[in-house]
Homo-oligomer: A and B are copies of this chain.
Amino acid sequence: MPELRKDPILGRWIIISKERGKRPTDFIIDKDESKGGFCPLCSGNEKTTPPEVLNYAPAPHIPNTPGWDLRVVPNKYPALVIEGDLDKVGEGLYDKMNGIGAHEVIIETPNHDEAFTYLPKERMKLVFVAFRDRLADLAHDPRFKYVMIFKNHGRAAGASLEHSHSQLVALPILPRMITSELEGCLAYFKYKERCIFCDIIHQEKSQKSRVVCENEKFIAFVPFAPRSPFEMWVLPKQHSSSYVSMDNRSFDSLTELFSECMLRLDKCMAGVPYNFVLHTAPLRSQPLDHFHWHFEIMPKLTSIAGFEWGSGFYINPIPPEEAAEFLREVQI
């Protein structure tokens, strides 16, 4: 059983998810298992993954057989496990609990060679719909407080499989990054009685220099203080705290804009590794006036070294205004 452990000084939680029988040298990262060989995510190999929890198919379809457009399956090597109780306990001054959670893989296409950035729009839209559907479904399990949805693309960004996929982890505690964002947003709201993200959108639209693209419902910009060169945020222009409230027309608009961001990024730096994450309100929370859901897209271009680890500062070699200009001006 994986274990959740809390650092007593910082309150930071760690998942101890033991990979059995490994020796220290098995953890050296410089190995590449991502290319070539058998792919468990390809169409035709459905039986090699755990049974699917969701699929979208163009016609009536037998689960775990070919013919799907998108499928969601439990991760075969989950960081957290779905069966059991939390059993919170102390150990002297330390705190720990069982590693209960869900860890799922969203397989974004049946075709091995179709990168997310170049998915047909209708297929990419299904990915965004699947995020909403899994969030809505996992909210029924009262053990879970948050679902973190993320994508790793490319080995440098932590992807261990080449086939286009994203992942979700349902967590029994609110992650620190989310509580910090919620606290920051609430402090601003108490002072201004406005959502800080709404104010940021307003300022970005008027300054223009960091905006990458926008359409009727969404906007994408390089944030004022980006951790990484070419970091981008994608937000709905109209205030909304939870991704679960997305409707069909919004999905079209989101897909349009997100797809454009990814194309611009790839045209600037072909094949660049990246992560993206969705930050939305905690599961089952009421609509929040102070929080605004958003995606953060992080190209993996600089390495995190001792200074960043030790300080929490990041060093970024490209001013966001220049990064945005590169992204705006590239031909797509």
Within 8 Å CB of A319, what residues of B? 3, 16, 18
Q: Judge whether B185 and A311 touch: CB under 8 Å.
A: no
Tell me which of A110-118, A175-183, A238-246 binds B: A175-183
Given contacts A5-B225, A315-B15, contact A304 B304 (CB under 8 A): yes
Interface size on A, residues (CB 8 A): 94
Within 8 A of B (CB), among A1-42: 3, 5-19, 22, 24-25, 27-30
Question: How far, in angstroms, from A9 to B203 measured CA to CA in the complex?
Answer: 14
Within 8 Å CB of A225, what residues of B? 5-8, 12-14, 94
Q: Judge whether B93 and A203 touch: CB under 8 Å.
A: yes
Q: Judge whether A28 and B269 touch: CB under 8 Å.
A: yes
* Copies of this chain per assembly: 2
**With an 8 A cutoff between CB atoms, is A296 at the interface?**
yes
Q: Judge whether B79 and A315 touch: CB under 8 Å.
A: yes
**With an 8 A cutoff between CB atoms, is A86 at the interface?**
no
Given contacts A156-B303, A318-B27, contact A296 B313 (CB under 8 A): no
Within 8 Å CB of A158, what residues of B? 303-306
Within 8 Å CB of A181, what residues of B? 9-10
Within 8 A of B (CB), among A180-207: 180-181, 184-185, 188, 196-197, 199-200, 203, 207
- In this complex, what residue of B is CB-closest to A270? B25
Tell me which of A52-60, A64-72, A129-137, A274-282 binds B: A274-282
Q: Judge whether A300 and B29 touch: CB under 8 Å.
A: yes
Shortest beta-carbon distance, A52 to chain B, in Å? 21
Q: Judge whether B312 and A14 touch: CB under 8 Å.
A: no
Q: Judge whether B310 and A7 touch: CB under 8 Å.
A: no
Shortest beta-carbon distance, A178 to chain B, in Å? 7
Shortest beta-carbon distance, A206 to chain B, in Å? 8
Give 5 closest A-B pairs by Cβ, nearest first: A158-B305, A277-B310, A150-B306, A275-B306, A175-B311
Given contacts A12-B314, A16-B316, A157-B303, 7 further A-B contacts (CB under 8 A): A13-B225, A19-B318, A27-B229, A29-B302, A93-B196, A94-B203, A277-B309
Please, could you name 15 A-B residue pairs with CB atoms under 8 Å apart, sorted by A?
A14-B227, A16-B316, A17-B316, A24-B229, A24-B269, A24-B318, A28-B301, A29-B156, A29-B303, A148-B310, A167-B307, A175-B310, A175-B312, A177-B311, A277-B309
